[in-house]
Amino acid sequence: MKATYREAVRMGLRNALLSDPRVFLMGEDVGRYGGSYAASRGLLEEFGPERIRDTPLSESAFVGAGIGAAMGGMRPIVEVMTVNFSLLALDQIVNNAATLRHMSGGQLAVPLTVRMATGAGRQLAAQHSHSLEGWYAHIPGITVVAPATHNDARDMLGLALKEPDPVFIFEHLMLYPQDGELDETGAPMPLRQACVRRTGTDVSVITYGGSLGKALAAAERLAAEGVSAEVLDLRCLRPLDTEAILGSVRRTHRAVIVDEGWRSGSLAAEITARIMEGAFYELDAPVERVCSAEVPIPYPKHLEDAALPQTATIVEAVRRVLPKGAG
């Protein structure tokens, strides 16, 4: 069936609310407004104000309340409007959500799901264009996922709610209006598994979230030049599916990592390191990274485009790792 990404997210929310009375949604403007990205439109009318809760602009309080409610036996879904605002809740996320099970010697569980929009591309300027999922992926004690496809946008939420520990879902803001196809029969893919979205033999393009579409477009363009690029969608950023990454590199012997985060200390850096650790003697070329330029994301379209990974820059990076005259 055809749907937009935002509709897929909404289906996931609705399924979750229908299937478990412990589930409720809270966040800024998730109710009457229908969600900043309209992901929860209509849910207040269907499920009522007890389960669709508008919060004040108090990220720390409502993320912390999500932690407490999860500890108290509920299955809260907290929507933090965007990753940019989640910085106001970092204390709750890093110091509480991620630590409580361990710090309590296993007595406490925080089955909390937090959703937020991430990424740039809408000319929203520096404060509304962060891609900080890599920061979150640094933190043990939480799971971090990035649904890049419509199926994942719908299904990952339900899987996250079945987890005994906090799960953070990063939805790239450019995806919400995109049309796509939803599978209505198959079982959802496990949460922590990477997925080869396109098979290939010459190079592994490793990416996630909002960059998947660009990577697939790059692979298509490269195919016309006779270059066979494999595209791996990480899906889960913590824990990383290291075996899938290494398996792909072992097949192609070359890797290009596409990550909208800034290059220094990025997820791309982590993946590069894992390839060095696990597949050094399989490499036939240095690993390449396509990351955001190290600058606060600027407002003008041409500069924003230049700052972000693009299909063309992915193609160029792939060409750099290929033998000369190949293809």
Residues near another protein, by CB under 8 A:
24, 50, 53, 55-56, 58, 60-74, 76, 88, 91-92, 95-96, 100-109, 111, 140-141, 162-165, 201-202, 226, 253, 280-286, 288, 320-327
The CB density around residue 319, as the number of other CB atoms within 10 Å, is 17
Looking at the Cβ atoms of 1 and 104, the one nearer to another protein is 104
Sheet strands side by side (includes 113-118): 52-54, 23-27, 75-82, 113-118, 167-172, 143-145, 236-238
Query: Is-catalytic flag, 171?
Result: no
Residue type (1 letter), 249:
V
Query: Is-catalytic flag, 28?
Result: no
> DSSP letter at 208?
-
From the list 59, 230, 270, 304, the catalytic residue is: 59
Exposure on the CB side of residue 52, measured as CA atoms within 13 A: 24
| Cross-strand pairs, 236 | 145
From the list 79, 128, 130, 288, the catalytic residue is: 128
| Cross-strand pairs, 230 | 204
Rounded alpha-carbon distances, angstroms, from residue 314 to 181, 186, 204, 207, 211: 25, 31, 11, 11, 10
Please answer whether residues 95 and 60 qualify as being in contact, where contact means their C-beta atoms are separated by less than 8 angstroms.
no
Report cis status (omega within 30 of 0) of the bond before 239: yes
Taking CA 176 as the corner, what is the angle to CA 200 and CA 310, rounded to the nearest 5 degrees? Answer: 45
**Strand 143-145 vs strand 236-238: parallel, antiparallel, or unpaired?**
antiparallel
Looking at the Cβ atoms of 71 and 258, the one nearer to another protein is 71
Exposure on the CB side of residue 113, measured as CA atoms within 13 A: 26
Q: What are phi and psi of 48, to 5 degrees?
A: 85, 165
Closest approach of another protein to the CB of residue 181, in Å:
30
d(CA 31, CA 26): 8
Residues tagged active-site: 59, 128
